[in-house]
C-alpha cells in the first residue's frame, strides 16, 4: 500500500505540488484560488510547467508569482531528450505531488514510475465512460452528447501506465441538459465538477487521507 500516508510521514512541511498545463489553466486557477482561500490546506504550489509557451495557464502562474516554465517537445531533437528534460524540470521542483491539469503530452514511463501514486490527473467524464486514447477536451463532451447520457461529470485519478486508467480518487456527476452543445456542457462540467474535485483531491492527499490498496483508493477519515 503506497500513497499519501508515506508522503505525509516523510514530509516535514507543506505538500509541494507541481502543476502541469497545456491550455487556458482554469483548473490551475481553481487550485491557486483554493490555496489562497484555505479550501486546500497544507499545500504550496512549487511551480507550473507547460509544453505550450502560449498557454494562458502560464500567465495565470506569473500573475500569482508562481515559478513557471515551458518545456516544449518542439525545442528538442527527439522525444527521448524531451522526456529527459521534462522529468528534470519536474524533479527540480521537488514535488510531493504532480498535478496534471489539462496537460496534453504523454507522460514518460519513467516519470510515471517515479511518481506512482503521487501524480494525479483531472478527466472531464465519469471514468470509465468516455476516456482513453482520443478522449480529451471537447471530444469527451461530443461523445457524451452523441451517446445521449443524462449524467456526465469529472474524475480525478492517479496516473498509471494506461490512459485514464489509474486508481480513481474523486468523481462528481453533472446533469446533461436538453439542447447542450459540447462547449456549454464542457463549461458546466468545469464549473460544477472539475474546479471542485481537483482542489478537494489535492487537499485530501496533502493531508495524508488517500491511500491505494489493490489499485483502488481508500479515502481516510
**Residue among 123 and 188 whose Cβ is closer to ligand GRF:** 123
Give CA–CA dist 34/167, Å, rounded: 23
**Residue among 26 and 217 whose Cβ is closer to ligand GRF:** 26
Residue 10 C-alpha cell reads as 516523510
x/- contact string, 62-101, with ligand GRF (CB under 6 A)?
Answer: ---------------------------------------x
Closest separation between CB of residue 29 and ligand GRF, Å?
Answer: 8
Identify the bridge partners of residue 122 per DSSP, sorted by sequence position: 156
61 binds ligand GRF (CB under 6 A): no
Among the options 65, 123, 141, 157, which is catalytic? 123
Give CA–CA dist 62/196, Å, rounded: 23
The DSSP symbol for 74 reads G
Give CA–CA dist 98/157, Å, rounded: 12
x/- contact string, 2-41, with ligand GRF (CB under 6 A)?
Answer: -------------------x-xxxxxx-------------
The DSSP symbol for 127 reads T
* Site residues (CB under 6 A) for ligand GRF, limited to 117-176: 122-124, 137
Q: Where are the alpha helices (DSSP H) in the chain?
A: 4-10, 26-37, 56-63, 79-92, 109-114, 138-147, 182-189, 195-206
Among 102, 153, 166, 199, binds ligand GRF (CB under 6 A): 102
**Residue among 181 and 213 whose Cβ is closer to ligand GRF:** 181
Give CA–CA dist 173/57, Å, rounded: 25
**Residue among 46 and 101 whose Cβ is closer to ligand GRF:** 101
Residue that is written with C-alpha cell 494506461 in the block: 162
57 binds ligand GRF (CB under 6 A): yes
Positive or negative: CA dihedral 202, 125, 151, 117 = negative
Active site residue 123: yes
Q: Contact residues for ligand GRF (CB under 6 A)? A: 21, 23-28, 57, 101-102, 122-124, 137, 190, 194
Give catalytic residues, as residue numbers: 123
Amino acid at each position: 500500500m503506497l500513497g499519501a500516508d508515506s508522503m505525509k510521514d516523510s514530509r516535514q512541511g507543506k505538500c509541494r505540488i507541481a502543476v502541469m498545463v497545456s491550455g487556458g489553466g482554469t483548473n490551475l486557477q481553481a487550485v491557486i484560488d483554493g490555496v489562497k482561500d484555505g479550501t486546500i490546506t497544507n499545500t504550496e504550489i512549487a511551480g507550473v510547467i507547460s509544453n505550450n509557451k502560449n498557454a494562458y495557464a502560464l500567465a495565470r502562474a506569473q500573475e500569482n508569482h508562481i515559478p513557471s516554465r515551458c518545456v516544449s517537445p518542439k525545442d528538442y531533437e527527439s522525444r527521448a531528450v524531451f522526456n529527459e528534460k521534462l522529468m528534470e524540470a519536474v524533479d527540480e521542483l521537488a514535488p510531493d505531488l504532480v498535478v496534471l491539469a489539462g496537460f496534453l503530452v504523454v507522460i514518460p514511463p519513467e516519470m510515471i514510475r517515479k511518481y506512482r501514486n503521487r501524480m494525479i490527473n483531472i478527466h472531464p467524464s465519469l471514468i470509465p465512460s468516455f476516456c482513453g486514447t482520443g478522449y480529451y477536451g471537447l471530444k469527451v463532451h461530443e461523445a457524451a452528447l452523441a451517446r445521449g447520457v443524462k449524467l456526465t461529470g469529472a474524475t480525478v485519478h492517479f496516473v498509471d501506465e494506461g490512459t485514464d486508467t489509474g486508481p480513481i480518487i474523486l468523481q462528481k456527476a453533472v446533469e446533461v441538459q436538453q439542447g447542450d452543445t459540447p462547449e456549454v456542457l464542457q463549461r458546466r462540467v468545469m464549473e460544477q465538477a472539475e474546479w471542485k474535485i481537483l482542489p478537494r483531491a489535492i487537499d485530501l492527499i496533502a493531508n495524508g487521507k488517500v491511500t491505494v490498496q489493490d489499485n483502488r483508493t481508500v479515502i481516510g477519515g
